[in-house]
Amino acid sequence: MLVFLVQFIHVAFRIYYFLLMANIILSWVPLNRGNAITTFIYEMTEPYLRIFRRFLPPSPGLPVDFSPILAIFSLYILENLVFYLLNILL
């Protein structure tokens, strides 16, 4: 049961990393935003990215949004913290 929990959490983090990367790639490509897959990706990632856009808004002179980098780094730290706490508690 414990192994299943750890693997489930690991897979959940990997899926969210994948969704964040897909969001970044889709922001470069002008696709139809009404597509069900792109809508799902944006609905799953934008609330999380919005947190970091408050602290690191897009640069007015550059068309680059650095908030996904901060979001991925924070997610990595959160993942390590969760596994560290699981290791201590279990």
Instruction: Please state, in angstroms and rounded to a whole number, the distance separating the CA atoms of residues 40 and 16.
Output: 12
Instruction: Please state, in angstroms and rounded to a whole number, the distance separating the CA atoms of residues 70 and 53.
Output: 9
74 or 35, which is more confident?
Answer: 74
Instruction: Please state, in angstroms and rounded to a whole number, the distance separating the CA atoms of residues 26 and 20.
Output: 10
pLDDT at 2 over 90: no
Question: Which pLDDT score is estimated for 47?
Answer: 95
Please tell me the pTM assigned to this model: 0.85
Question: Which pLDDT score is estimated for 83?
Answer: 93
Helix boundaries (H) for the chain: 2-28, 36-55, 67-89
Domain boundaries, the chain: 2-89
90 or 36, which is more confident?
Answer: 36
Name the pLDDT band for 29 (thresholds 50, 70, 90): confident
pLDDT at 62 over 90: no
